[in-house]
Structure 1
Amino acid sequence: MFVITLSYVADLDRIDEAMDDHREWVDGQFEDGVFVASGAMVPRTGGVILAAGLERPELEARLALDPFQQKGLAEYTIVEFAPRKVVPGLERLQA
């Protein structure tokens, strides 16, 4: 399980210009079953993604395809953790 934080390193005007492409990429990760949650930080300084079911090298390869990454609009921090307890319905997230 991974928690990925994206911190914007560009003006929001540039982020907004790339947002449709970023969201399309995010949708593809959900379709692949890799992302389990995502959304904007509050205040809007970046985003947070929860990912599961893959190894870190594959995650890093996928993140490299994010339009925000390719355009130098965001920096990424990846934290890996092993969930030991989850609410009913999220058992697939447990290590």
Structure 2
Amino acid sequence: MFVVILRFSENRERMGELMDAHKAWAKQGLDDGVFLMIGSLQPGLGGAILAHNISRQDLESFVDRDPFVAERIVTVEILEITPSKTDERLAFLSAV
């Protein structure tokens, strides 16, 4: 599983013009079953995504297609996590 950190960069002022395309990209990740959670980093620092069921290479490729990434509205950090213990409600995350 992965945590994707999207931190606002110097081009943040262009965010509004690309918001619809960014939301469509995020919806695609949810619809594909890759994104489990999308949220905002507080206070107004950017966003974070919990992703699974995808290889790192494919996730990097998908993240690169985010208009916010392509237009350098955000910088990206992808953290890969190998779950060793989970609450039983999240057991599906370690069943890889």
TM-score where L is the length of structure 2: 0.89
Match of 2:19 in 1: 19
After TM superposition, the runs of 4+ consecutive aligned structure 1 residues lying more than 3 A away are: 10-13
Which residue identity is paired with 1:2? F
Which residue identity is paired with 1:73? I
Once the two structures are superposed, what CA deviation does each residue of 1:7-49 show, in whole Å capped at 9, x if it has no partner? 1113543112212211110000011010111111111111101
Match of 2:44 in 1: 44
Equivalence map 1:1-95=2 (5 Å): 1-94=1-94, 95=96
Q: Which secondary structure state, in structure 1, belongs to the residue aligned with residue 50 of structure 2?
A: strand
Once the two structures are superposed, what CA deviation does each residue of 1:51-82 show, in whole Å capped at 9, x if it has no partner? 00111100011011101011111110011011
Whether the 8 Å CA contact 2:12–2:73 is kept in 1: the answer is no
Question: Percent of counterpart pairs with the same letter?
Answer: 35
CA separation in 1, counterparts of 2:55 and 2:88? 24
CA RMSD between the two structures: 1.4
TM-score where L is the length of structure 1: 0.90
Gaps of 5+ in 1: none
